[in-house]
Amino acid sequence: MTRVALAFSGGLDTTVCVPLLEEEYGYDDVIGVTVDVGQPASEFDEAEETAEALGLEHYVVDAKEEFADLCLEGVRANATYQGYPLGTALARPVIAEAILEVAEEQGCTGIAHGCTGKGNDQLRFEAVWRNSDLEVIAPVRELGLTREWEQEYAAEKDLPVEGGSGGDWSIDTNLWSRSVEGDDLEDPSYVPPEDIYAWTQAPTGETQEIDIEFEQGRPVAVDGVEYEPVELIEHLNEVAGAYGVGRTDSMEDRMLGLKVRENYEHPAATTLLNAHEALEGLVLTQEEREFKQLIDQKWSKKGYEGLVDAPLVGALEGFIDETQQRVTGTVTIRFEGGQARAVARDSKFAAYSAEHASFDTETVGKITQEDATGVAKYHGFQRRLANEAIAANADDDEVELATDGNGEDE
């Protein structure tokens, strides 16, 4: 008997995939796998109810801890893509690995998803699955299905879906972020209504300050209370979201070249990334900070592509691990006007001296202010030479251009 494991959400796309995998691909048995990376409980209820109505063997895998660990690794790499924290992108490899493990344990010969051929997720899932010997199947993409066709097919087969839309918006939620797209939001000139947001309240004039403690680049406590990664993220989503922190309205460039509009909520991610960057600014040298921007950018790009296990990422993390040894300390974040702003930071590894930087002290250790005179004389020396040469030859260039412009009589 041939079996196929399907990434199953209970929504329209994955629901229609169940009979299609049997009718169009000839599989004897389909099993559904839902992976928990922090979605609302209602999504699991929907998946379980739909699976039961379909008579589908259904597995639920808890991967919240693995996902939270990856998100906090992303904090150490200041991981963002085109201005927003990576959420869905980091979740997909975790989900894909969990589904693959179930598929292999259950003796499947195939593994399938309900992604279209226009998005990023197909690539992120398959980057993991194509390391296996299982046949990779994408019915929606391979059969060229549209949402309208799926709705008609579901009605014809009497499949357990409610209208096939699940609301006006297409929403993807995990611990780290909540994305909202589709319908009127596809028009870049459309102003989103407040009701697209669930994690964040509209900013008010109220403020709050919290202290976040880091150990080697990883957040470990808030206001003196230690948290495990999952609980820490959930706590900050609630606290920061109440002040409207972490909203992004982005025109995103996908891997396939399409430009799409995405709206995101990510209160905990924004808070932690801002705090972490502020602490790095205190403890890292200028050279380390400048070079780490390049490292972080590369890490973020591979994270966006769903390739967090690439050899390059391992090499990048070697540098990140070295710098994060000193990223230990406390950052005070103020929530204000929809922002999470660092207003204080402290670390025993601070590459900073208040005495040296102060205008009220005469020297910098053994260095006197007069010692800067020689540096000031050399500063910009090549620029002055270059500008003098340009000015000295400006008249000659003008004469040459005028001569060339006269030409010859025709």
248-283 pLDDT per residue, tens: 999 999 999 999 999 999 999 999 999 999 999 999
Mean pLDDT, residues 11-30: 95
In whole angstroms, what is the distance from residue 342 CA to residue 401 CA?
Answer: 56
Query: Which residue from 89, 66, 46, 38 is spatially nearest to 301, judged by alpha carbons?
Result: 89
How many angstroms separate the CA atoms of 131 and 251, rounded? Answer: 32
CA dist 241 and 220 (Å) reads 19
pLDDT at position 164 is 37
- Tokens encoding 304: 């966006």
Q: Give yes or no for a contact between 248 and 116, defined as CB atoms under 8 angstroms apart.
A: no
Average pLDDT over the chain reads: 93
Residue numbering of the annotated binding site: 7-15, 84, 114, 116, 120-121, 124, 170, 179, 252, 264
Once rounded to an integer, what is the mean pLDDT over residues 24-42?
96
Same domain as 50, residue 148: yes
Q: Is residue 401 part of a domain?
A: no
Q: Encoding tokens for residue 303?
A: 């994270």
Residue range 142-155: mean pLDDT, rounded: 94
- Do 17 and 6 contact (CB within 8 A), yes or no? yes
| Average pLDDT of the segment spanning 359-368 | 76
The pLDDT of residue 260 is: 92
**What's the confidence (pLDDT) of residue 399?**
66
Whether residues 268 and 134 fall in one domain: no
Q: Which residues carry a binding-site annotation for ATP?
A: 7-15, 114
Same domain, 65 and 115: yes
Identify the domain boundary among 103, 136, 170. 170
> What integer is the mean pLDDT of 232-255?
97
- Quote the number of domains for the chain: 2
d(CA 257, CA 118): 9
> What share of the chain has pLDDT > 90, as a percent?
85
Q: Say whether both 74 and 185 belong to one domain.
A: no
Selection from 35, 8, 76 nearest residue 300 by Cα:
76
Alpha helices in 120-182 (DSSP H): 121-129, 139-142, 147-157
Q: Are residues 189 and 122 in the same domain?
A: no
- Please check whether residues 163 and 196 belong to one and the same domain: no
Q: Measuring CA to CA, which residue among 174, 176, 175, 172 is closest to residue 196?
A: 172
Per-residue model confidence as pLDDT tens digits over 74-93:
999 999 999 999 999 999 99
Is residue 164 located within the same domain as residue 223?
no
* Same-domain status, 154 and 187: no
* Residue 350 reports pLDDT greater than 60: yes
In a domain, 315, yes or no: yes
Residue 147 has pLDDT above 90, yes or no: no
Same domain, 151 and 113: yes
Q: Which two tokens stand for residue 408?
A: 């010859």
Has this prediction a pTM greater than 0.85?
A: yes
Would the CA dihedral through 37, 43, 49, 55 be positive or negative?
A: negative
> Which positions make up the binding site for L-citrulline?
84, 120, 124, 170, 179, 252, 264
Among 170, 194, 227, give the residue marking a domain's end: 170
Whether residues 209 and 328 share a domain: the answer is yes
Confidence of residue 408 (pLDDT cuts 50, 70, 90): low
Q: Is the pLDDT of residue 169 over 80?
A: no
Active site residues per annotation: 13, 92, 121, 170
* pLDDT at 166 (0 to 100): 47
Please report, for the domain that includes residue 79, its CATH number.
3.40.50.620
Domain stop point among 129, 152, 170:
170
Residue pair 300/77 in contact (Cβ under 8 Å)? The answer is yes
Q: Is residue 163 part of a domain?
A: yes
Least confident span in 168-172, 197-201, 206-210, 382-386: 168-172
Whether 272 is covered by a domain: the verdict is: yes
**Looking at the structure, do residues 190 and 155 belong to the same domain, yes or no?**
no
List the domain range (segments joined by +) for residue 315.
178-346
Residue 364 within any structural domain of the chain: no
Are residues 155 and 199 located together in one domain of the fold?
A: no
Q: What is the mean pLDDT of residues 63-81?
A: 98
Q: Residue 156 pLDDT more than 70? A: yes
pLDDT, position 165: 40
Q: Hey, what are 92's tokens?
A: 């997909």
Give the CATH number for residue 237. 3.90.1260.10
Which single residue is written with the structure tokens 């997909």? 92
342-363 as b/e: b if 16+ CB within 10 A? beebebeeeeeeeeeeeeeeee
Can you tell me the mean pLDDT for 54-60?
96
Least confident of 107-121, 218-232, 348-362: 348-362
Residues tagged in the binding site annotation for L-aspartate? 116, 120-121
pLDDT at 374 over 70: yes
For residue 213, give every residue at least 6 positions away whose Cβ sits within 8 Å of its Cβ, in sequence order, or none.
219, 220, 221, 222, 224, 329, 330
Residue 99 inside a domain? The answer is yes
Model confidence over 285-321: pLDDT tens digits?
999 999 999 999 999 999 999 999 999 999 999 999 9
- The verdict on residue 395 lying in a domain is no
DSSP state of 393: T
- Residue in 161, 123, 168, 171 with CA at minimum distance from that of residue 16: 161
Residue 30 within a domain:
yes
